[in-house]
Structure formats: C-alpha cells, structure tokens
C-alpha cells in the first residue's frame, strides 16, 4: 500500500515537473514572437523626491500579456529570455518604448521626468548596446538625460572590459546608471571605485527591515552615506509606509519608490493618476 502511494507521489511529482518544463519550452518559443505580436507592455511606477514629495520620474517594468496565460510578471519569463537570447530584441523594444514615453511626457513639462529601464546582463554585454540605445534616442527624439539604466551588481563582479567600456559610453552620451537591488548581490564594494555609477538603489529587503530591527535601519543609513560620500544619489525601493518614507528622508536618501507612492500601472493609468 505504502509502495503504491510512493509510486503515485513520484508520478505526481514527475508530472508537475514535466508541466513546468513544458511551460518553460512554450514561453521560450513564444518569446520569439511576443514583440512582433505586440504582447509586451510597459508598466510605470512613480519615483518621488523624498524631501518635497514631488514626482521626478518612473521605473519602466515589463509585462507580457500572453494570449493564453494572461498577464505574466517579469520574474516568470525574463530568465527564459536571458537563456535563449530573445532578451536582446525584447530589451531593445523596452528601451524604444520607454524613450517614446519620455518624449510624450516631457514635451508638455518644464521639469523633465526620467524613466529608468532595467537592463539584463546578457543585454548589457552585447557589444553594440550603446549604439543600439543611441539609435533609439535619435529615432524617438528622446534626450539621453531622460533615461536611466538599472543594472545589477553581478554584472560588475568580474572585471569584464566590455562592461567598463559600455558604461563609459552610456555616461558620455548623457544617460545615468543605477545599481539595482543594491546589497543583495555578492557585494564586493570595490567595484564602486572602478565603475562610473550615478545611483545606488537600495534593495527593498532592507527597507522592509527598517523599524523592525535596528540593524536594518543602520545598514540603510550606512548605504546612504557611502553613496553620498562617493557623489551618488540614493534611491530606496519598496517603500510601503509613510514612516519608512520619513525616516529615509531623514537619513538623506533622495528618492523613493514603492507601493506607498504608487504601484506599477499601465501607461494610460499612470498618465491619469500621476501626471
């Protein structure tokens, strides 16, 4: 009896695994046409000046409106597109779409809003990324100052010469560069002295610890003063309460993002609620 149950469990496990593997293959295949089929969408989440409460820009966050599976979140498909290389085409679409949005917003504004786009390691390591961005800017008439690139610490760990060159090109063009999820990678702070970085974006896991334990709060304070000493701007992500926003402002953290200010929403809703 136990033996039979064991076999059934195993079979169930096996089927679940197969379903997951099948989904991976399906998404991988479908990712080649997601762009052409207009299934991709950018959501926008406001970024706010913590001292004035004024909106200063947004982060563009990718969504995939899959015809059968519905709205997919990036964590469920970005790794697959990194693996099969479709992230390169998808990433180009993200940059162009964000650039177009920045132009639409800023043509009617005195103080420009900046849009941050996430760049995955594979996308960043293509040798013509800077050129690709330059073309996107020219074709949309977007100013480089209106875009910010968010990269991850892992990209900076192995001193690859191509990464340094691309970062320098992007800075020279006028784009700013932020380190996303700061503090969660295998932080080897030495990279901060080697690479030209404008913004430290403190990971939301640290913000969530604030107020709950002193060590979390002290780490956030320390990150902010490192950034400050190196002439970088600090952004806090994942702000969910007024208390967090107030404390961060007190520590000298300049910019905030999180559900407290607004969740990521479709462009139409962003325009309606935040502009």
* Interface contacts to Mg ion, rule CB under 5 A: 118, 150, 180-181, 237
Contact predicate 198/176, CB 8 Å:
yes
From candidates 46, 57, 256, 264, binder to ligand C2E by CB under 6 A: 264
Minimum CB separation of residue 89 from ligand C2E in Å reads: 12
Instruction: Look at residue 245 and give the partner it binds from Mg ion, ligand C2E, none, a contact being a CB closer than 5 to 8 Å depending on partner kind.
Output: none
262 binds ligand C2E (CB under 6 A): no
240 binds ligand C2E (CB under 6 A): yes
From candidates 112, 183, 216, 238, binder to ligand C2E by CB under 6 A: 238
Stretch that binds ligand C2E, among 74-82, 156-164, 184-192, 248-256 (CB under 6 A): 74-82
Choose among 257, 148, 265: nearest CA to 204.
257
78 binds ligand C2E (CB under 6 A): yes
From candidates 74, 85, 183, 216, binder to ligand C2E by CB under 6 A: 74
> Which positions from 44 to 63 touch ligand C2E by CB under 6 A, shown as an x/- string?
-x---------------xx-
Burial tier of 257 (Cβ tally within 10 Å: 0-12, 13-18, 19+): buried
Minimum CB separation of residue 196 from ligand C2E in Å reads: 20
Q: Enumerate residues 6+ apart whose C-beta is below 8 A from 165.
A: none
> Which positions from 146 to 175 touch ligand C2E by CB under 6 A, shown as an x/- string?
----x-------------------------
From candidates 118, 176, 217, 224, binder to ligand C2E by CB under 6 A: 118
Stretch that binds ligand C2E, among 99-107, 238-246, 247-255, 266-274 (CB under 6 A): 238-246
Total interface residues for ligand C2E by CB under 6 A: 22
Minimum CB separation of residue 1 from Mg ion in Å reads: 48
Minimum CB separation of residue 181 from Mg ion in Å reads: 4
86 binds ligand C2E (CB under 6 A): no
Residue 192 phi, psi dihedral angles, 5° rounding: -65, -25
Nearer to ligand C2E, 113 or 207 (CB): 207
Tokens 């299934």, residue located: 39
DSSP string, the chain: -HHHHHHHHHHHHHHHHHHHHHHHHHHHHHTTTTTTTT-EEEEEEEEEETTT--EEEEEEEEEEEETTTEEE-HHHHHHHHHHHSTHHHHHHHHHHHHHHHHHHHHTT-SS--EEEEE--HHHHTSTTHHHHHHHHHHHHT--GGGEEEEEETHHHHS--HHHHHHHHHHHHHT-EEEEEEETSS---TTHHHHS---EEEE-HHHHHHTTT-HHHHHHHHHHHHHHHHTT-EEEE----SHHHHHHHHHHT--EE-STTT---EEHHHHHHHH-
Residues near ligand C2E (CB under 6 A) are 45, 61-62, 73-75, 78, 91, 94, 118, 120, 150, 180-181, 204, 237-240, 258-259, 264
């Amino acid at each position: 009896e136990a033996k039979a149950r064991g076999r059934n469990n195993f079979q169930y496990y096996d089927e679940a695994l197969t379903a997951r593997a099948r989904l991976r293959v399906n998404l991988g295949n479908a990712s080649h046409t997601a762009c052409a089929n207009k299934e991709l969408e950018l959501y926008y989440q406001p970024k706010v000046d913590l001292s004035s409460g004024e909106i200063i820009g947004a982060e563009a966050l990718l969504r995939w409106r899959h015809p059968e599976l519905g709205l997919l979140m990036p964590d469920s498909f970005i790794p697959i597109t990194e693996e099969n290389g479709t992230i390169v085409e998808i990433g180009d679409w993200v940059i162009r779409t964000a650039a177009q949005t920045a132009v639409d917003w800023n043509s009617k504004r005195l103080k420009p809003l900046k849009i941050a786009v996430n760049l995955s390691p594979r996308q960043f390591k293509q040798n013509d990324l800077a050129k690709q961005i330059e073309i996107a800017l020219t074709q949309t008439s977007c100013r480089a100052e209106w875009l910010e690139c968010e990269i991850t610490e892992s990209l900076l760990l192995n001193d690859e010469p191509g990464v340094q060159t691309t970062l320098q090109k992007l800075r020279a063009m006028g784009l700013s560069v932020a380190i996303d999820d700061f503090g969660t990678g295998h932080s080897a702070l030495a990279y901060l002295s080697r690479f030209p970085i404008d913004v430290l974006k403190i990971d939301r896991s640290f913000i969530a610890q604030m107020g709950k334990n002193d060590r979390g709060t002290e780490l956030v304070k320390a990150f902010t003063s490192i950034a400050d000493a190196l002439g970088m701007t600090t952004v806090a992500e994942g702000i969910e309460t007024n208390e967090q926003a107030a404390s961060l402002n007190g520590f000298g953290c300049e910019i905030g993002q999180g559900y407290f200010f607004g969740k990521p929403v479709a462009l139409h809703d962003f325009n309606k609620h935040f502009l």
